[in-house]
Amino acid sequence: MKPGIQGVPSAAGGTLQGKHAFVTGGGRGIGSAIAHALLLQGARVTLAGRTAAVLEQTARELASALTAGPSSETGGCAIDFVTVDVTSRESVNAALAEAARRHGPIAILVNNAGQAASAPFAKTGDDIWRQMMAVNLDGTYHCIQAALPGMLAAGWGRIVNIASTAGMTGYAYVSAYCAAKHGVIGLTRSLALELATKGITVNAVCPGYTETDIVKDAVANIVAKTGRSEEQARAELAAGNPQKQLVQPDQVANAVAWLCQPGASAMTGQSLAVAGGEIM
């Protein structure tokens, strides 16, 4: 783990002032947007992911964005980063322990790291199945197990699992991904009940097709297999959204940031679809 950009300006009196947030998959897309939203609320944020160079660049960009903002006041906000493989319990334990050593106990855990792979079920081999489970479900499990003792000791915590509308309904040709995300929602509901009297909330945020690298890969796959243009492929993905558009990362981040607020303490065990009305 390398030190990130310390002491960047935060929103004066932010509702998450002094809280340490750990965001997996924080180097780009939804994860980066979530980190930005939490920083604006005064949290200290550790970005976690597989590639140090990507994380460092994102940390610097977020710090620059905040220092360029209208507020010149400096609060207890900081941004840092750590490399982690969420499929490895040992890697997760080491990363969260180091992050806590640097910035204090983790009060907010956002399990955003994820991967998607598409294939007809008959061609979904053990390699695809295990990879989808390892990253999307096992990774969430490992991170919660590592962060939960500190939250229990503090009597306060927010766990937000980034699932997907694929965890709420079915989509063809992504059976392994759907199964893993359904598992994330099941874990969310079960753990929310266990922790309901402990001051810790557990929720899932379920984006529809969102403007991320995963969707870029999906568009490329559609183009390669069907001969459609990139514009046609994007329109096809957006067609299931009643608003006829792809979800933007900051729209997902805003939902996450709200669930982390002290005022959202009655929200637990919920799966919030951020999908323009696709899931009701």
Q: What is the mean pLDDT of residues 13-28?
A: 92
pLDDT, tens digit, 9 for 90 and up, residues 29-46: 999 999 999 999 999 999
pLDDT of residue 75: 44
Q: What is the mean pLDDT of residues 218-230?
A: 83
Looking at residue 116, which CATH number applies to its domain?
Answer: 3.40.50.720
Confidence of residue 8 (pLDDT cuts 50, 70, 90): very low
Contact (Cβ atoms closer than 8 angstroms) between residue 62 and residue 279: no
Same domain, 171 and 226: no
> By residue range, what is the domain housing residue 139?
20-209+248-274
Is the model more confident about 213 or about 73? 213
Same domain, 226 and 102: no
Average pLDDT for the chain? 91
Contact (Cβ atoms closer than 8 angstroms) between residue 128 and residue 178: no
How far is residue 266 CA from its own chain's centroid? Answer: 21
Alpha carbon distances (Å) from 156 to 77, 151, 202, 218, 273: 19, 6, 11, 38, 25
Contact (Cβ atoms closer than 8 angstroms) between residue 26 and residue 48: yes
- Asked whether residue 71 is domain-assigned, the answer is yes
Active site residues: 177
Tell the residue number behind the tokens 């900081």, with chain if given.
78
Confidence of residue 74 (pLDDT cuts 50, 70, 90): very low
pLDDT of residue 62: 94
- Asked whether residue 7 is domain-assigned, the answer is no
* Tally of domains in the chain: 2
Same domain, 85 and 123: yes
Confidence of residue 97 (pLDDT cuts 50, 70, 90): very high
- Asked whether residue 1 is domain-assigned, the answer is no
Same domain, 130 and 113: yes
Confidence of residue 13 (pLDDT cuts 50, 70, 90): low
- Asked whether residue 256 is domain-assigned, the answer is yes
Same domain, 66 and 149: yes
- Asked whether residue 29 is domain-assigned, the answer is yes
Which has the minimum average pLDDT: 125-134, 189-198, 234-243? 234-243
Same domain, 262 and 138: yes
- In the chain, what is the greatest distance between 2 CA atoms, to the nearest angstrom? 57
Q: What is the mean pLDDT of residues 138-151?
A: 98
Is the model more confident about 209 or about 153? 153
